Amino acid sequence: MAHHEVLSPLPGTFYRRPSPDAEVFAKEGAIVKVGDVIGLVEVMKQFSEVQADAAGKIVRFLVENEDAVEPGQPLATIETA
């Protein structure tokens, strides 16, 4: 089983939900395609989508909702087929 880490493209605050009372973009265990949104990073009052850059199963998120993240920080692990 190969594992792929989704990295944060920029610094900011990581969110797993589109809004505080909405469902998470992706649950642990979910199957994702390349380009599926798995979270948001907020910086300079702008929200940037974090997309899965590999297809497979999200094994786990490596940061909590609302954690501060750095550019290049691993956000989630995807188990590729």
Partner 1 sequence: MTVEIVKPGLATTIQDAGRPGYYNVGIPLSGALDQYSFRCANLLVGNDENAAVIECTLLAPELLFNVSAIVAVTGADATPRVNGSPMPRNESFAVKAGDKLSFDFMRLGARGYVAIAGGIDVPVILGSRSTYGLGAFGGFQGRKLAVGDKLPIGKASNTAKAGRKLTADLAMPLPKETELRVLPGLYFHRITDASADNFFADTWAVAPEADRIGYRYKQGRPLQWRERKQPFGAGSDPSNIVDAGYPYGSIQVPGGVEPIILHRDAVSGGGYAMIGTIISADMDKIAQMQPNYKARFVRVDMDQALAARGDYKARMDRVRKALA
Q: Summarize as ranges the residues that interact with partner 1 (CB under 8 A).
A: 7-13, 42-46, 48, 68, 70-72
Quick one: 28 or 65, whose CB is closer to partner 1? 65
Could you tell me the smallest distance in angstroms from the CB atom of residue 29 to partner 1? 27
CA distance 2 to 49: 24
Could you tell me the smallest distance in angstroms from the CB atom of residue 60 to partner 1? 22
Sheet holding 56-61, edge to edge: 2-7, 74-80, 56-61, 31-32
CA distance 18 to 1: 30
Q: Give the tokens for residue 33.
A: 């395609």
Quick one: 28 or 46, whose CB is closer to partner 1? 46
Could you tell me the smallest distance in angstroms from the CB atom of residue 27 to partner 1? 26
